Amino acid sequence: MEKIAPRFAGRHLITLEDFTKEEIDYMLKVSHDFKDAFYANEKTPWLEGKTGFLMFFEQSTRTRNSFESGMAQLGGHATFLDTSMMQIAHGESAKDTAVILSSFGHMIACRYCNWGLGNKYIREMAKWSTVPIINLQCDLYHPMQALADLMTIEDEFGKTKHLKVSVIWAMATTHKKPISVPVSQVLLFPRYGIDVTLAYPEGYDLPDWVIEKARKNAAENGGSLTITHDMDAAYKDADVVFPKNWGSWVTNQSTTVVDDALLALKAWKCTPEKMALAKPTCRYMHALPADRVNEVVDEVIDGPQSVVYQEAENRIHTAKAVMALFVHDKLPSDRR
């Protein structure tokens, strides 16, 4: 395993699709190492003297703080950059931003979720940056969330193969959310032999190329992908459920958040009755923040089957693993 470690140095992390399963395994292994060290109160100064820049076009709680705190725990310094306060707001190009920031430090991490713009912008920065670019979520991918989700499933079940994991659309009115979380999940989970069920109402499709690649990943790794518009079928006998909203960006690029079509889908909500269809050991997961009014009721998200806080905590351990692997030229020892 240690032989693959140098492969990470200096690379960009835009999507987990760019990495082999062995490399993702190693990311997870190092995540568990850092989690063990955190609970043992061990110092982990792997990025001492290193500087990273955290660029955010949108709001963030878990992503920003997992990277900012994680960098501090690794002995480095993270600078938070609100892009509305940068010259980006006056039209400075992705090239100029990437060239300059990469000359100042050792990593640039960016969140930019605008449909049709975010992934293109991050890839343009990667073209010019001399240090790793880390995707903190764009319009297409959220690799850090998917990595923490997979780590949490491993924590809860000790395995991934042949688990039924259902990614289920849920109604929300807070904002028109990106598709990046479900896209990253349906691409990653089948690579671990997981039987994924993707459930959504008509009009909330994911891109065809995502479905084609997810089916290919499943065929190569013993997983499966089932698509349904029947919410109950997704909950039936599930081991893990991810009831979460995403916007209808593929079929409707309007930025309108609430319309009559959305309001007609109030039944797409996670309730105790829906959870009763799943296995008694089923775990409720969510990337957070959850729309407690519409996506899920308090009885579920605050109940014994919910592991949303464990899932959120794993964000810092995966963040530290990624930063240590991609930014540092030496890696944590193989402790597991």
| pLDDT (tens digit per residue) in 81-124 | 999 999 999 999 999 999 999 999 999 999 999 999 999 999 99
* Three-state SS letters, 97-115: HHHHHHHHCCEEEEEECCC
What is the DSSP secondary structure assignment for residue 207, as one 8-state letter?
A: P
| pLDDT (tens digit per residue) in 125-156 | 999 999 999 999 999 999 999 999 999 999 99
All domains of the chain, ordered by start, with CATH? 2-142+315-327 (3.40.50.1370), 144-311 (3.40.50.1370)
User: What pTM, to 2 d.p., does this model score?
Assistant: 0.95
Per-residue model confidence (pLDDT) at position 7: 83
What is each CA distance from 146 to 46, 142, 166, 167, 195, in whole angstroms?
A: 24, 6, 14, 12, 16
Whose CA is closest to 188, among 13, 15, 44? 15
- The helix (H) or strand (E) run that includes residue 15 is none
| Cβ-Cβ contacts under 8 Å for 306 (sequence gap 6 or more) | 283, 284, 285, 300
- The helix (H) or strand (E) run that includes residue 137 is strand 133-138
Are the C-beta atoms of residues 188 and 66 closer than 8 Å to each other? Answer: no
Per-residue model confidence (pLDDT) at position 5: 63
- The helix (H) or strand (E) run that includes residue 81 is strand 77-82
| Cβ-Cβ contacts under 8 Å for 32 (sequence gap 6 or more) | 151, 317, 336
> If you search the block for the tokens 């994680």, which residue do you land on?
70
Per-residue model confidence (pLDDT) at position 328: 72
Per-residue model confidence (pLDDT) at position 101: 97
Per-residue model confidence (pLDDT) at position 329: 59
Positions in the chain whose pLDDT score sits under 70 = 1-6, 329-336
Residue 101 to residue 90: CA distance in whole angstroms: 17
Our CA angle for 207, 211, 167, nearest 5°, is 95
Whose CA is closest to 287, among 245, 250, 324, 325? 245
